[in-house]
């Protein structure tokens, strides 16, 4: 503390008033000779064992979150796939689809699992499982919500739901019905080459196209002098029953193929 001067440095007065707030004040001019300041001192914070902290998000938190979420959806896909009867290869594709979807938005885990299975089956397998079975297998599924999730997932991932048909699926049915013949195989291969080369029947589904090709091949082989043998009666009606395609659809595809195709067949 500074001692009080004998005289005020401003006016030279010698009378002072002592106050606890400002210290010495000159009675004549009011000059503050000394101002006391109070310094508050706080000891440093000491961490104790009872102190708890709430950790905020770290760089590893989002990664672990997505890993756990993806694993949960994987488990649901495996579970639902076994109940519905989805082939194992479709289950594998469904897991990849769900992982891409999770990283691009927020989804309901149960509906995402079912939707991934449905899209994987439609896109990858030759054994198509109808959407009705997905709805009937589980009581909690809402038809509108499931369809809405399918449309959203298709739009998000830009996948194509056109049915991938293995031509052997159709041809095997015809082989079983009319028998295996080397001439028929030759005609089928030649027709496929021409159809692919000139882009015939582009607006037709693969299932329709393969059924029409098989019908033409067997019709050519088992027709003698314009008449079909009784043993192998190849008709549009029977071909429609074998392939699962309507008779009118096959007829239209056959006409388009024959109108634009010229092949050489050695019988």
Q: What is the mean pLDDT of the chain?
A: 76
Closest Cα partner for 219 from 265, 166, 153, 260?
265
pLDDT at 191 over 50: yes
114: left (phi over 0), alpha (psi -120 to 50) or beta: alpha
Q: Return the minimum-mean-pLDDT range out of 58-62, 132-136, 139-143.
A: 58-62
CB 80 within 8 A of CB 114: yes
**Tens-digit pLDDT profile for residues 16-64:** 777 766 567 777 777 776 554 444 444 555 555 544 444 444 545 677 8
Q: What is the pLDDT of residue 149?
A: 92
Map out the domains of the chain with their CATH numbers.
1-40 (2.20.25), 61-157 (1.10.472.10), 167-260 (1.10.472.10)
Tens digit of pLDDT for each residue in 151-190?
A: 898 888 876 655 455 556 778 888 888 887 788 888 888 8
Predicted confidence at residue 52, as pLDDT, reads: 47
Pairing of β 23-26 and β 16-19: antiparallel
- In this predicted structure, the answer to whether residue 104 has a pLDDT above a threshold of 70 is yes
> What does pTM read for this prediction?
0.44
Across 121-139, average pLDDT: 81
User: Which ranges of the chain does DSSP label H, i.e. alpha helix?
Assistant: 60-84, 88-102, 109-124, 131-137, 143-157, 167-178, 182-198, 206-221, 236-243, 247-260
Instruction: State the pLDDT at residue 161.
Output: 57
- pLDDT band of residue 78 (cuts 50, 70, 90) is very high
pLDDT in tens, 196-209: 777 776 667 778 88
Q: Give the CA angle between residues 144, 244, 196 to the nearest 5°.
A: 100
Residue 108's pLDDT is 92
For residue 55, the tally of other CB atoms under 10 A from its CB is 6
**pLDDT tens per residue, range 207-259:** 888 888 889 888 888 765 444 455 567 888 888 888 888 888 888 888 888 87
pLDDT of residue 66: 83
Confidence (pLDDT) at 124: 65
């Amino acid at each position: 503390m500074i001692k009080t001067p004998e005289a005020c440095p401003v006016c030279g007065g010698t009378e002072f008033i002592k106050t606890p707030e400002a210290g010495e004040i000159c009675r004549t001019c009011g000059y503050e000779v000394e101002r006391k300041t109070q310094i508050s001192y706080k000891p440093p914070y000491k961490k104790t064992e009872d102190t708890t902290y709430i950790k905020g998000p770290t760089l590893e938190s989002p990664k672990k979150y997505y890993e756990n979420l993806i694993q949960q959806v994987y488990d649901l896909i495996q579970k639902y796939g076994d109940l519905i009867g989805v082939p194992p290869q479709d289950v594998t594709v469904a897991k990849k689809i769900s992982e891409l979807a999770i990283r691009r938005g927020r989804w309901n885990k149960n509906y995402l699992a079912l939707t991934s299975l449905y899209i994987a089956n439609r896109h990858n397998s030759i054994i198509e499982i109808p959407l009705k079975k997905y709805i009937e297998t589980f009581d909690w599924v809402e038809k509108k919500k499931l369809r809405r999730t399918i449309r959203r997932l298709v739009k998000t991932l830009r996948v194509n739901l056109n049915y991938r048909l293995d031509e052997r699926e159709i041809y095997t049915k015809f082989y079983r019905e009319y028998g295996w013949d080397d001439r028929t195989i030759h005609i089928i291969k030649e027709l496929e080459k021409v159809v692919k080369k000139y882009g015939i029947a582009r607006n037709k589904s693969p299932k329709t196209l393969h059924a029409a090709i098989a019908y033409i091949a067997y019709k050519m082989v088992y027709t003698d002098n314009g008449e079909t043998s009784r043993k192998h009666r190849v008709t549009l009606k029977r071909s429609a029953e074998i392939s699962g395609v309507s008779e009118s659809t096959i007829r239209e595809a056959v006409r388009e193929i024959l109108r634009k195709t010229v092949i050489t067949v050695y019988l």
